Amino acid sequence: MVKAKRILEILEREYPDARLVLEFKTPLQLLIATVLAAQCTDERVNLVTNNLFKKYQKAKDYTNVSIEELEGDIRSTGFYKNKAKNIVGCCEKIVKDFNGEVPSTLPALVSLPGVGRKTANIVLANAFGKPAIGVDTHVYRVSNRLGLAHSNNPDKVEMELCRIIPEERWIRTGHLLTFHGKKICKAKKPLCNQCVLFELCEWPNKEQYYR
């Protein structure tokens, strides 16, 4: 816990403006944006949702359009067929079981088609302000390299992080680790020579990237 506190203090100084990059105004918009963000950059998603959210404003709107039209609307985010299917499935269940409103509990959110703990936690934290850590690819990678977590299972990484980080810091932790993963601790070519956490890092391969 001491190490985790130190890491978060350093990251806070390094990324004071760390935040969720996905643009949204409602829980539904964040849910849709997070589904689209799988295997896609946040910047691309924001470009797509800029028009998408004008066209579809309620969950019911997504259920009243043909799957082919929705696929066309989100095509540039990649894996558009599966994403469209999940979006329609989510919205059908939201309309049927939750009176058209995105639910605000983890069990309810993960009951939606295509929604796992990562997506659910991102929505809980950022749309509802509830303590949660969404373990996306950046949080997963950075926390394992730093030694904050030791698992190849994102759900277990979440549990490990929640055990060593105070609940009131969960949301902020997700933002800080994500920013560090995007800017420095990249998947293929991490910039270890620029990393403010180099001395605290447990990743065995860090030396070969310190050039």
Check 136, 156, 182, 183 and give the catalytic one: 136
Rounded to an integer, what distance in angstroms lies between the CA atom of residue 95 and that of residue 146?
42
> What does the mean pLDDT of the chain come to?
97
Q: What is the pLDDT of residue 159?
A: 97
Mean pLDDT value of segment 158-174: 97
In the three-class reduction of DSSP (H, G, I as helix; E, B as strand; rest coil), residue 56 is classed as coil
φ/ψ region of 45 (left if φ > 0, alpha if ψ in -120 to 50, else beta) reads alpha
Q: Per-residue pLDDT tens for 131-157?
A: 999 999 999 999 999 999 999 999 999
Report the C-alpha gap between 13 and 177 in whole angstroms: 13
Active site residue 61: no
Alpha-helical regions (H) of the chain: 2-14, 27-36, 42-55, 59-63, 67-74, 80-97, 106-110, 117-127, 137-146, 154-164, 170-183
pLDDT tens sequence across 46-96: 999 999 999 999 999 999 999 999 999 999 999 999 999 999 999 999 999
Asked whether 23 and 33 are in contact (CB, 8 A), the reply is: yes
pLDDT of 190 above 80: yes
Minimal CA–CA distance to 102: which of 37, 27, 52, 172? Answer: 27
Nearest by Cα to 102 from 30, 24, 28, 22: 28
C-alpha to C-alpha distances, 26 to 38, 102, 104, 117, 211, nearest whole angstrom: 19, 9, 12, 19, 44
Report whether pLDDT(210) > 90. no
Whether 73 sits among the annotated catalytic residues: the reply is no
* pLDDT in the model for residue 1: 80
Active-site annotation holder among 118, 156, 183, 189 = 118
